[in-house]
Every structure is written in C-alpha cells, then in structure tokens.
Chain A
Amino acid sequence: MLTKRIIPCLDIKNNRTVKGVHFLNLIDAGDPLDLAKLYVQQGADELVFLDITASNEGRKTLVNLVQKIAQEINIPFTVGGGISSVEDVRSLLKAGADKVSINTAALNRPHLIKEIADQFGNQCVVVAVDVKKIDGNYFVFKNGGRINTHIKLEKWLHTVETLGAGEILLTSMNQDGTKDGFDIELMQLAGMCVNLPLIASGGAGRASHFAEVFKKTKTSGALAASIFHFGEVPIPELKQILKQKNLPIR
C-alpha cells in the first residue's frame, strides 16, 4: 500500500536554513545539508528546499547546494523558490533535484507548467499554491503571499492539472505559523477538485494534526518546517504515532 509521506521543508537563505513567520524575524536553523542528512536518517520520506534568496548570486549558490544535496541524499527532493523559466528548471534538475516547485511564475504565465511538463515529464512539476480564505472563498495568492490574484482555488487547481502539473503543494496562509493544525476543509476541497497527489502545508504543530489530515482528507503528504527543525515533533516519534493510528507509514 502506498504510504503517507512526511516532508520536512527547509527554507534556504545564503546557504543556511532559516525559519520565520511570513519571511520576517528569520531565525537561523542550521546547515541545510546537515539537517537534510539528519532527516533522511530519521525516516523523512521526501525533502523540500525553498530558496528565499532572490538575487542572481543566490541562484548560483543554490545550484551548488543542490549538487551537494544530490551527492549525499538517497531520497527524493524538491527545489523551489524564484523558478521562472524552463532554463531554471533544467539547471536544477541537472544539478540533481528530482522535482521543482513553481508558484508565482505559474500564476504570471500558466503555460510554463506545460512547457516544463513536456520537457521533463509531469512527475517533476510541483505547483505550490498559497491560499487564503476570504468571506468563505479560498483565493490564490502570489509573490510569497503578498498579492491576491483574486483567482478562486477551484479554478486554479483545474488549470494546473490540465496543463500537466504532477503534484500540488497546498499552503493555507490562514493556518501557516499558527501550529493549530492543517486546514482540513481546504484539503478536502482540493481533494475533490483534482486527481493529483496533494501535499498539505501550514499549521502543523502536533502529531495529531498529521493524523487528522491523513484520516479526513485525500492528502498523500504533509509538510512542516520549524516543528522538525527545533525538535518539537521528532520524525521517528511522529511516524510511530501515525502507525499506531493504523495509517500507512513507511
């Protein structure tokens, strides 16, 4: 049986793992490669690296980091942050990334999804979607959650599936950083809209939050950052608890 995936996310700035709420008050959370190796050892099922440095200088550093990660890590990993062209994707995949995550660039020019999927296969295209609930509707945001596109979630998910996305990384901006649990209603809605693997993000605070999202929604993976970085929810314990709750876990 296909198991549910536990996915630590590492935000990268200047070659360091950082964590903050909405990119503010960044706290250093260690060397990304060391942290990645630790997570692999602890049983993480996949890793996500998000580059939050936007400069060209930063991009080269990121490609170098991806090369180092690929040399040492024997599980799949996704790289995202600032990807806006097929060439960006090519350099990251060539460096050893398994998948790339695109967000703002896809909203600015949806056809980019198809271009990447046609070139490299849809399995490597993760579309990251940041949403906020406003007056009962979920709207898609871009530019790191700063700009409301006024596009409804349902419509955007349908578009990205049609264009060839291989997976959706769905972040609830309402829940992000709260540690109050994943947005169950949002994940249920997304599960009805698309037949793609869905990764839930935003709100993880305790092991029971992971159990809830896996039991109540079609989510196939759940992502979290600081609770793993700062040891609040160690991955081995989390996986043990989920197994005891009869969830399919590696």
Chain B
Amino acid sequence: MIVILDYNAGNTQSVMHAINRLGYSCKLSKDLNEIQQADKIIFPGVGQASVAMNELKQTGIDKLLPQLEQPVLGICLGLQLMCTHSEENNTLGLGIFPTKVKQFNTPLPVPHMGWNKLQFNDQPLFSGLDQQAYFYFVHSYYAEWCDFTQATATYDLSFSAVLQKDNFYATQFHPEKSGIAGEQILKNFLSL
C-alpha cells in the first residue's frame, strides 16, 4: 500500500490523482501503524513550515518518519521539513537531511514559480529523463546544497532540487504537477 501522509497540508488530492493516473492505488493516512506498514510513503506539502510541523507533532509522525526503512518521498514543503532547520518561522525540521532551508534573497520575483530545469546525477529516480526536462516549482524557501543533493536547480543561486539519503527521497518541485516528466519521477519512485 502507498500511503500519503495526512497532516492537514494542502495538495494531497493532486498527489493522489497523479498516483491513480499511473495505475496505483493509495491511501491518505495519519495512523502510525498504517504508515509503518506501508510499502511506500509520500510526504506532500503545501503551506507554512511551522504550522505543518505542529500538525506532524500532534500525530506523532515527527518521531516515526525519520525511523522508517521503506522508501519515503517528500515533496516541496515535505523536502524542507526533512532538513534540519527552516528560516520560515524559525522552524526545527526532522533532521533527515543535514542542511538548512533559507529564504530566497534575490532581486528576482519571489516565490520562484514556474517551470525550471534540473542538473542531476545519474540516479534511479531520474531514470528515463534527460537534463532538458522541465519541472514545476513554487516556493519562497530553498534547501542549501549538501552531500545528499542529487539534483540542483538555479534561480539566482543554485539550490537542492532533489535530496536523497538511504531510503529518503525528496523533491523541491511538484512531480504531481510537472506533466509527463513529473509522472516519470513518481513512476521511478513507485518502482524502487
């Protein structure tokens, strides 16, 4: 079973529809047993870091998530909460990726909103994709580069667009909203 974490974040519908379109079934859940027994877990996220972190604490997901051994995919705010700290409302994260989340400080419009390319390493998550593919981003905060950065994107500066450490994967862009290229990323994750 594929479980989408239910912690009152926006956007869960879009992720579920995208997974259904790929021919998989999935379930929205905040039940710790159900999460623990899932084959794969998706940690979506749209909203504010501190609000989302409080929701995770109330359900106990904050303690469980870093201990999981099955593949986990964080999306957007999901990625940011998997880092050590976010400047958004000075929020402590889950600490899975040893990097910090900073606010864009640029003369360019913020949020970074729209389609952008990645520079990625050879990795199962990018199977079937080339460096010309575009992905949909919408965010005002970014994770700094670290040893677990598997892809970067550039908006004034270069930031972590994909992170991966052991069974933990995370994308700053929205694969569920990134057309065919995004579907390929989800397909690759679901076939890990």
Contact = CB atoms under 8 A, between A and B. Distances in A.
A236 interface: no
A2 B137 CA distance: 9
Interface in B1-52: 10-11, 13-14, 17-18, 20-21, 46-48
Interface of A: prevailing SS: loop
Give the size range of B's interface with the partner: 35 or more
B46 A123 contact: yes
Contacts of B176: 74
Interface string B56-70: 000000000000000
B13 A1 contact: no
Interface stretch (A90-98, A131-139, A174-182): A90-98
Contacts of B138: 76, 123, 166
28 contacts: A1-B154, A2-B115, A3-B114, A5-B115, A40-B179, A45-B114, A70-B13, A71-B17, A72-B21, A74-B21, A74-B178, A74-B182, A74-B183, A94-B13, A95-B13, A96-B13, A96-B14, A98-B11, A120-B10, A121-B46, A124-B10, A166-B138, A167-B113, A195-B108, A197-B109, A198-B109, A220-B109, A221-B114
Interface residues of A, number: 36
Contact of A74 (B48, B111, B154, B177): B177
B183 A220 contact: no
A75 B177 contact: yes
Contacts of B116: 1-3
A74 B18 contact: yes
Interface string A42-79: 00011000000000000000000000001110111000
